[in-house]
Amino acid sequence: MPDIRIFTEDLKIAQAILRRDEATTKRYLYQHCYPLFKRYFDGYYTDCESCIEFINEIYVLIMTPSRRTGRCRLMGYHGESTLTQWLKVVCKFYCYSQFEVKSKKPETETISPKNPEKGKPSDRIWPEEPSIEEDLSMFQREDVEVILGLMKNKRYSQIIRLRHVELRTDRETAEALGMTMDNYYNKHRLAKEMFEKTLRKEECYG
Q: Which of 50-54, 128-132, 142-146 has the lowest mean pLDDT?
A: 128-132
The band of 149, judged by pLDDT with boundaries at 50, 70 and 90, is confident
In the predicted model, is pLDDT for residue 170 greater than 50? yes
pLDDT tens by residue, 22-70? 999 999 999 999 999 998 888 888 888 888 999 999 999 999 998 888 8
In the predicted model, is pLDDT for residue 145 greater than 80? no
Does the predicted TM-score (pTM) go above 0.75?
Answer: no
Mind listing the domains of the chain with CATH numbers? 1-127 (no CATH), 131-206 (1.10.10)
pLDDT score recorded for residue 192: 86
| H, E, C per residue of the chain | CCCCCCCHHHHHHHHHHHCCCHHHHHHHHHHHCHHHHHHHHHHECCCCCCHHHHHHHHHHHHHCCCCCCCCCHHHHCCCCCCHHHHHHHHHHHHHHHHHHHHHCCCCCCCCCCEECCCCEECCCECCCCCCHHHHHHCCCHHHHHHHHHHCCCHHHHHHHHHHHHCCCCHHHHHHHCCCCHHHHHHHHHHHHHHHHHHHCCHHHHC
